[in-house]
Amino acid sequence: MDYRDTPQEAEFRASLRQWLTENIPVGWDKIEDPEAAAQMRRAWHRTLYQAGYVGMSWPVEYGGRGLSAAYDAILNEEAGNLNAPSLPSVGYMGRAVYTYGSEEQKKHFLPTLLSGEAQWCQGFSEPEAGSDLASLRTTARLDGDHYVVNGQKMWTSGGQYADWCLLLARTDSDVPKHKGISCFLVSMKEPGVTVRPIIIASGEAETCEVFWDEVRIPVSQRLGEPGEGWRIAMTTVAYERGPADIGFIASYRRTLARVERLAAERGLLDQPETRKQLARAYVRGEVLRLNCVEQLAARVSGQQPGPEGSVAKLLWADAEQSLQHLAMDILGADELTGTESGWLSSYFTSRPVSVYGGSAQIQKNIIARMLGLPR
């Protein structure tokens, strides 16, 4: 496959680059107040949507433009190159709804998800069911024309700002654990839903624990058939695990350039060990980029994301954590004594990359099954 832009894609890229240059919010990355940052993200989502840059590869009948996945990749790359705010993560949530939802659900939920009018979170992980998601204990008991949900979810990113949740709950305890899970579309404003932000090591509250106490959900808000939750979850995470889908490749390059400047400022570029670590960081980034290009080529040709996404997830975690560790090695003890350069926070933020979306151990198990290795 020729990985260069087609004439149409090149024209789109140039137009998009100009638009981003003119519309990226000034000073967005200097906002410290969490509420103000959340409002900025919502406004950015609406701005992108109004310009036609959200859900470009979605089917036209569901509000998209019916373009190939290459256009979404170009958006992520250019946004990353220009240090734009994070792009709205509507892809994997929307994929679940328009793949498994009824026509009524699609018409009701997809327009506001796409436009940013409604913000969504993902209620999958639990205190004792993180990587082993099939062991979840949150239950949904059928009571007439409603399900009654009780349980707890953990590591729910953005839960404090979400309007709706894509929720997994156990509806049948008498079948194998993977087969007794169903999926629901739940308003976070329902009585009995309690959200508690979690302050992580970086000092940010980007994730939450959510408690569900006798929460009543109409049967009409079950997504798919009873017991189909595991299948829906696997479709969702397949679209969630791609580093190319969040502009990571471009942001990694920017961070590597910053680390190189940091080493130069401290007179370390002539040291063999520093040069070797910088070279390794470059190679890790290139390996990840080429892996993502290969997966993008498969998606453009019509293939759906599969277990090979676990390879990219492992490469992504290794690249990000290694680069942040190198930055800390270059800074040394200075970064721990109140310089407030932001590197320490970035280092802490990189640590859970190997856990969320499925831990490194789980990704390796998926790859092992893909290769036909013994369980």
Residues with a known catalytic role: 240
192 near 244, Cβ under 8 Å? no
Please write down the HEC assignment for all residues of the chain. CCCCCCHHHHHHHHHHHHHHHHHCCCCHHHCCCHHHHHHHHHHHHHHHHHCCCCCCCCCHHHCCCCCCHHHHHHHHHHHHHCCCCCCCCHHHHHHHHHHHCCHHHHHHHHHHHHHCCCCEEEECCECCECCCHHHCCCEEEEECCEEEEEEEECCCCCHHHCCEEEEEEECCCCCCHHHCEEEEEEECCCCCEEEEEECCCCCCCCEEEEEEEEEEEEHHHEECCCCCHHHHHHHHHHHHCCHHHHCHHHHHHHHHHHHHHHHHHCCCCCCHHHHHHHHHHHHHHHHHHHHHHHHHHHHHCCCCCCCCHHHHHHHHHHHHHHHHHHHHHHHHHHHHCCCCCCHHHHHHHHHHHHCCCCCHHHHHHHHHHHCCCCC
361 near 314, Cβ under 8 Å? no
Q: Collect all residues with Cβ–Cβ distance below 8 Å to 106 and sequence separation of at least 6.
A: 62, 97, 98
